[in-house]
A and B are shown apart, each in its own frame.
With several copies, the nearest count.
Chain A
Amino acid sequence: MAASRVVSKVATMRDAIAALVRDGDTVAIEGFTHLISFAAGHEIIRQGRRDLTLARLTPDVIYDQMVAAGVARKIVFSWLGNPGVGGLGAIRRRIEGDIPEQPLEVEEYSHFGMVARYTAGAMHLPFFPLRSYFETDLPVANPLIRPIVSPYGEETIYAVPPLHPDVTIVHAQRASAAGDTQVWGLLGCQKEAAFAADRVIVVVEELVSDEVIRADPNRTIIPGLIVDAVVVEPWGAHPSYVQGSYDRDNRFYLDWDPISRSEDAVQAWLREWVYDLDGRAAYMDKLGAERMGLLRPSASAPSGAVDYGEYR
């Protein structure tokens, strides 16, 4: 058969963000604990984007940093915290009105509500139905959570509207130059967030050949068809983690707690770790080989291989 001529989508982080993230966009940097693209968030800060709506189930430290840097006017979320540690000070200060010149709008769901919103977006549905929100104050706080009557038997449940990010950014273990992307470990809702988006940036630990992807098509979560740029950025998820490559840097999350409590400390951190560096490689240099060494898995845990069989 004829060989397909694949156009490479490989780009630098700087070029990908410059071309694909625009002021006023709704941006989703997704990944539930696993595979959060801190590298992309930092580049958005460096390029000084403004008025973004930041969507994510768990805003996490990356959105605390982005909000502190002034890139956002609104967050859309379901759980606002530093998981296992505490709060996100920069975001809380703006919500609680402590920094009146930087107000931050909030639009709030539950986890399943956010997942359902991305799913409705991916499926081009005008809503997604779910059995959450009964007898809670959430539909009062957010009037976009609405009741819907089943056409079978009068039952009333709830609906959420689709979420269509202008840009979804995901980190992954590997992708081909065409953007076909494979992930193992926690999948979160990256697939749904990517299919729901107008533009998609995939950041990977490793660029692999088309043959590696096609050897195990069941592992592909995002096809190159919907990908606009592939950025190769090893360690781009730190202090989040990549299953099989490096551990979550829990010390970083714990250290963020006191920093986050002080606006000055946050701004100093941003200067030192974002503005004064020109990219992820410099960040990793600064983090240092010793810290990186501590984050390596204690041993390998291979999946084993399966056989798809040739059928000619």
Chain B
Amino acid sequence: MTERRVAGDPRAFSKAEMMIVAAARALEGQRVCFVGVGLPNIAVNLAQRTVAPELEMVYEAGVFGARPARLPLSIGDPTIVTGSTAVVSMLELFGYYLQGGLIDVGFLGAAQIDRFGNINTTVIGDYKHPTTRLPGSGGACEIAINARQVFVIMRQSTRSFVERIDFRTSPGNLGGAEQAERIRRKGGWLGRGPSVVVTDLGIYHFDESGEMRLDSLHPGATVEAVRASIGWDIKVAQALATTEPPSHEELRLVREELDPGGAYTK
């Protein structure tokens, strides 16, 4: 069954599966997670079924404490409603839950990210005359500001990990940790910004200067492959780890329960 994913790979899992599993594991010990659209959705649902059974999933559509019986394709699916703890208006969700400071982790995807974790999901090219029009902020801008910390999951390439993002939709560590700290304190932000980035090649955290650092390589990935797919000179941890491959149970959950159609893991 695993063959259809990565033919010939002895470990028998895809890069997308590794990314989703690693992202889910990052939620261990977290309590309240705001679930972004796309890849975060499957990662957070996997975490609730594995490392974080007490995780409260918050969907911007207005749901607190979701218990989806199936993986929702959209983040406003009826399965996130039935059996949830609370369904509230979006005014309350964004006002009382998010801006009120109750979200431990905001889990976002991104089209472009820079070394300080600033995110673009708005346009490629000039705003008024875009080469590519992307979806825009949705809730990402306020999640990045108000969630206590931000996790990011995205595929990496020189088009997505760039020296300079074309539009800043969601603030990360701005121009560096010192500036970001000063501005967050002055503005009374509740969020401390980005803390983990999980890609199809590895796991990154942010160092004291607020800059992204490769801390763990996924099985089969190399530092060279990482460097070749990042638009700046990426910092690499001295004690670079190797990500534990997906367990049988993690793969089973992804393949049989969460994404039997392979929409996320192709």
Would A312 and B91 be within 8 Å (CB), given that A79-B137, A95-B133, A111-B142 are in contact?
A: no
Taking the complex as formed, is A19 at the interface, i.e. its CB lies under 8 A from any CB of chain B?
A: no
Q: Are A109 and B85 interface neighbours, CB within 8 A?
A: no
Q: Are A311 and B67 interface neighbours, CB within 8 A?
A: no
Q: Are A111 and B139 interface neighbours, CB within 8 A?
A: yes
Chain B contact surface mostly = loop
Q: What is the CB-to-nearest-CB distance from B204 to chain A, in angstroms, rounded to a whole number?
A: 21
Q: Are A223 and B100 interface neighbours, CB within 8 A?
A: no
Cα of A135 to Cα of B168 in the assembled complex, Å: 8
A309 neighbours in B (Cβ, 8 Å)? 78, 82
B222 neighbours in A (Cβ, 8 Å)? none
Q: Are B81 and A217 interface neighbours, CB within 8 A?
A: yes
Would A122 and B78 be within 8 Å (CB), given that A108-B136, A192-B89, A225-B56 are in contact?
A: no
Count of chain A residues with a beta carbon within 8 Å of a chain B beta carbon: 84
Binary CB contact string for chain A from 121 to 133 against chain B (1 if under 8 A, 0 otherwise) = 0111110001111
Q: Are A111 and B90 interface neighbours, CB within 8 A?
A: yes
Residue of A33, A111, A191, A225 near B102 (CB, 8 A) is: A225
Q: Are B130 and A96 interface neighbours, CB within 8 A?
A: yes
A214 neighbours in B (Cβ, 8 Å)? 67, 83-85
Count of chain B residues with a beta carbon within 8 Å of a chain A beta carbon: 78
Taking the complex as formed, is B129 at the interface, i.e. its CB lies under 8 A from any CB of chain A?
A: yes
A311 neighbours in B (Cβ, 8 Å)? 69-70, 77-79, 82
Taking the complex as formed, is B29 at the interface, i.e. its CB lies under 8 A from any CB of chain A?
A: no
Taking the complex as formed, is B49 at the interface, i.e. its CB lies under 8 A from any CB of chain A?
A: yes
Q: Are B64 and A131 interface neighbours, CB within 8 A?
A: no
Q: What is the CB-to-nearest-CB distance from B172 to chain A, in angstroms, rounded to a whole number?
A: 9
Would A84 and B73 be within 8 Å (CB), given that A110-B138, A243-B78 are in contact?
A: yes
Cα of A31 to Cα of B99 in the assembled complex, Å: 22
B132 neighbours in A (Cβ, 8 Å)? 96
The stretch of A45-53, A181-189, A278-286 in contact with B is A181-189
Q: What is the CB-to-nearest-CB distance from B149 to chain A, in angstroms, rounded to a whole number?
A: 16
Cα of A226 to Cα of B83 in the assembled complex, Å: 20
Q: Are A79 and B87 interface neighbours, CB within 8 A?
A: no
Q: What is the CB-to-nearest-CB distance from A97 to chain B, in angstroms, rounded to a whole number?
A: 7
A112 neighbours in B (Cβ, 8 Å)? 90, 94-95, 98-99, 139, 142
Would A138 and B137 be within 8 Å (CB), given that A84-B38, A115-B90, A225-B56 are in contact?
A: yes
Interface centre among B88, B95, B145, B168 (most CB of A within 10 A): B95
Chain A residues with CB under 8 Å of chain B are: 1-5, 32-34, 57-58, 77-81, 83-85, 87, 91-92, 95-97, 108-112, 115-116, 119, 122-126, 130-138, 140-141, 155-157, 180, 184-189, 191-192, 195, 213-215, 217-218, 220, 223-226, 241, 243, 247-248, 250, 253, 297, 301, 308-312
